Structure 1
Amino acid sequence: MSADRQIIHMDQDAFFVSVEVRKDPRLVGRPVIIGSLSDRGVVASCSYEARKFGVHSAMPARLARRLCPQGVWIRGNMDEYSKASHEITEIIQEQVPLLEKASIDEHYIDMTGMDKHFGTLRYAKELRAKVIKETGLPISFGLSVNKTVSKMATNECKPNGELSVARPGVQSFLNPLSIRKIPGLGEKTFIKLSDMGIKSIHTLSQVHPEYMTSILGKNGIWLLQKAKGIDESPVVPYHEQKSIGTQSTFNNDSIDVQNINYLLTSMVMDLAFELRQTKKQTACVTVTIRYSTFETVTKQARIPYTALDSVLIGKTKELFKQLYQKRLLIRLVGVRLSNLVSGFEQIDLYSESEEQYSLCQAMDKIRRRFGPGSIKLASVIDLNL
């Protein structure tokens, strides 16, 4: 893979807040906090004005209220945020040769071989201006030789910024930054390295590979490469984003709609658990039916980004009801979740289904300890299909 790729990272500025501001311009310049005010609520997103008070995403609402008592709280609307996300993706997708949707509010674009570097920078500026003009939503971008450096460039120029880091300037750009700025570096690793005196990327880049391996294993080499501006990971085309799915063929062809719905519920619960384990969400549900005649039919629907069992089960049952019209015996049913992006916690922490989220967390903890099939809803335990 060429070392001199041209990768653009585009990221919305305080995305959920920006959508709310677009809807209500009176919120401009105010400390807006998206989340639930309940005792168990958390912050899903907040404006840059609120961040000045120390508020950040995933913070308990109780603490956020203490830090920023003048904050303007908005419960949030995942449906609106999902629609805005699709709107932005469609604009970018029409303009670039290779696009990866990394999360609900960020995209990677591979412009390698399309133009000289200055030309790519100009193109990125024009694309950013187009997104802002057509959506009314602020967006920033970083342009560099790989995904890691371009993302870090975006983070350094936000909000409402642009930054290009060409090959000769990569290390000098990275060196003064805190190791905390490296994408994917967790809190435990940050504390461990900081306690060892490794706080800047420059210091980290000087550590011997064998020593990094001895303290962090394979992750140590991965981290060392990031500190040196090395990242060969490709931009994965959005239309090829992985989906997950499952299907079940019955021992005997069935027309028992109640039992089939129980089975679909069980299947969706397993898929939703897999989503959360990989910190993904889905924006599209597809249900498949194969009749005893071997005729196969499918129906799909776009949904707000989620990884919550309750939302996915409800949509799956709705699609099955719409699909099952012939009243013939059924041989097979299947469910597939697609349009996957990262960032489960960011999306669902604030939703109106706080109790459902808490239930998912509790059930996931049991599954991780005792296995994926260790806990089910009572209605799906005894299936006779």
Structure 2
Amino acid sequence: MKTKSILHLDLDTFFVSVERLINSELMNKPLLVGGLGDRGVVAACSYETRKFGVHSGMSMKVARNLCPHATVIKGNASTYTKYSHLITEIIKSEVPAFEKASVDEFYADLTGMDRFFGTYKFAGELRHKIIKESGLPISIGLSQNKVVSKIATGEAKPNNQRIIEIGTEKPFLAPLSVKKIPMVGNKTYQKLIQLGVQHIHTIQEMPVEMLESVLGKNGKTIWLRAQGIDNTPIIPFHERKSISTERTFNKDTIDMNRLTAPIQAMAESLAYQLRNGNKLTSTISVKIRYSDYQTYSKQVKIPYTSADHILIPKALELFHKLYHRRILIRLIGVRYSGIVGGNYQINLFDDSQKMLDLYQSLDKIKNRFGEKSVLRASTLGTRTIGGMQNPFNGEPPIVLAHRKQ
């Protein structure tokens, strides 16, 4: 079996680096990117702020108190999306297969390249090409699997590269904190600390059954990763990857309430699916089919997002631009494409901690009781995916009142 060569690429402090590229006066200064108000959240922070205890996801008010001399920038999701696309195009032009794990993180399969060109040499030249053509710092890690390569990138940062030769995975991982293992979040970390486990070498020496008894089915995966074992495949990136839904009316209609309510419901449902899968979209399209079966669609590129309050108004805006014949409509649909891995972070420039907490709370309710357990008043009773109105075990849904923007 051919040994794999998996490259991991991660743009260093992506939002911060883009801001410094635009304004060189910000170089080497403490910088915070995120919501500007006290209720805002830190979306990204420069290395200079981290020694003061600042980290992404914390309250902007707390971050400012910890590092009062930091420059605070609201950030521009459109700009970051543009640079993410630029990096994607550079990688696409150089490697046969790659995965876009998020807006600033990639994997590439370089297996077999040694016959023609040194794999690590190629990886280094690709890194330098990205730096030269984008102006952004990027770190890389190379090993025989995704997990070790990702950890190697973290150890190489900032703006550097590292290779982990075959057979050296375990000694490389051994002295590192268990927090370095992908999949070990705060809750898992606390459980491991309670067991007296702080470094990866301790997990390497433990029986796998012990970790499984404490962490359940995730215990085995974490144990294997601590040994440097990972068989997770590269998921090839396709720009057209999408999710969509549509609704055919029982009776053709021009009733605007009957038309706009399903669009809102579909846009909301798809946005929830994005967040539930830890994904972001960069393209939204709306489709209508008239009673004479003529079908039209319109799409628009947007900054990466998974937020209802951004996607729903955009879907309605597209519909109103599209619907111009003023004749009966038979079908409407909403589609999100240009999907990549990523979390809600890129939406934090306009949002407060209160908004972030609201999304997380609503999604927890939906995850537990079903997607239709929380509905906007404007979409109450609307059928969307699968024609289901309210699969909430017979209980009425929580209704969110419509609020004009």
Same fold (TM over 0.5): yes
Where do 1:88-167 residues align within 5 Å?
88-116=87-115, 119-167=118-166
For the residues of structure 2 that align with 1:366 and 1:169, how far apart are their CA atoms?
A: 45
In structure 1, how many angstroms separate the alpha carbons of the residues matched to 2:54 and 2:277?
A: 26
DSSP 3-state at the match of 1:373: helix
Aligned residues: 384
Give the drift of 1:358. 4.8
| Structure 1 residues 382 and 213, CA gap change in structure 2 (3 angstroms) | closer
Alpha-carbon deviation of 1:340?
A: 2.0
Deviations 1:324-376 (A, max 9, x none): 23333222111121222223232223335766545434433443444311222
Which stretch of structure 1 is more off in the superposition, 374-383 or 251-260? 374-383
AA aligned to 2:153 is T
* Deviation at residue 255 of structure 1 after TM alignment: 1.9
Alignment-derived partner of residue 273 in structure 1: 272
Residues 285 and 301 of structure 1 are in contact (CA less than 8 Å); yes or no, is this contact kept in structure 2?
A: yes
CA–CA distance in 1 between the matches of 2:115 and 2:336? Answer: 39
What is the distance in 2 between the residues matched to 1:4 and 1:35? 42
- Structure 1 position 320, deviation (Å): 1.8
Q: For residues 12 and 340 of structure 1, what CA distance do their matches in structure 2 show?
A: 19
Deviations 1:200-224 (A, max 9, x none): 1111012112222222221111111
With normalisation by structure 1, the TM-score equals 0.94
Q: Map residues 278-357 of structure 1 onto 2, 5 A cutoff.
A: 278-352=277-351, 356-357=355-356
C-alpha spacing 1:202/1:356, structure 2 compared with 1 (3 Å): closer
Instruction: Confirm or deny: 8 A CA contact 2:39 2:354 kept in the other structure.
Output: no
2:302 and 2:377 mapped to 1: Cα distance? Answer: 26
- Give CA deviations for 1:157-205 in whole Å, capped at 9, x if unaligned: 1110000112121111111111100012111111111211222111101
CA displacement at 1:302 relative to structure 2: 1.4
Counterpart Cα distance in 1 of 2:145 and 2:383: 52
**1: CA distance, partners of 2:19 / 2:125:** 25
What letter is aligned with 2:170?
A: Q
Deviant stretches of 4+, over 6 Å: none
1:303 and 1:353 map into 2 onto residues whose CA distance is: 21
Distance 1:173 1:337 in 2: 41
Identity level (%): 49
Q: Is the alpha carbon distance of 1:321 and 1:203 closer, same or farther for their aligned partners in structure 2, counting shifts above 3 Å?
A: same
Task: Specify the SS of the correspondent of 2:118.
Answer: helix
Tell me the distance in 2 between the aligned counterparts of 1:384 and 1:312. Answer: 19
Q: Which residue of 2 aligns with 1:188?
A: 187
Q: Cα offset for 1:39?
A: 2.5
Contact 2:30 2:71 in 1 (8 A): yes
Match of 2:399 in 1: none
What's the counterpart of residue 213 of structure 1? 212
CA RMSD of aligned residues (A): 2.1
CA drift at 1:138: 0.7
| Structure 1 counterpart of 2:230, one-letter code | D
User: Given the superposition, is the C-alpha separation of residues 166 and 250 from structure 1 closer, same or farther in structure 2, using an over 3 Å criterion?
Assistant: same
TM-score when normalising by structure 2: 0.89
**Residue in 2 aligned with 1:378?**
377
- Residues 24 and 384 (structure 1), Cα distance of their counterparts in 2 relative to 1, 3 Å cut: closer
SS at match of 2:371: coil
The alignment partner of 2:275 has SS state of helix
Partners of 2:217 and 2:353 in 1: CA distance? 37
Structure 2: segments with no counterpart, 5+ residues: 385-405
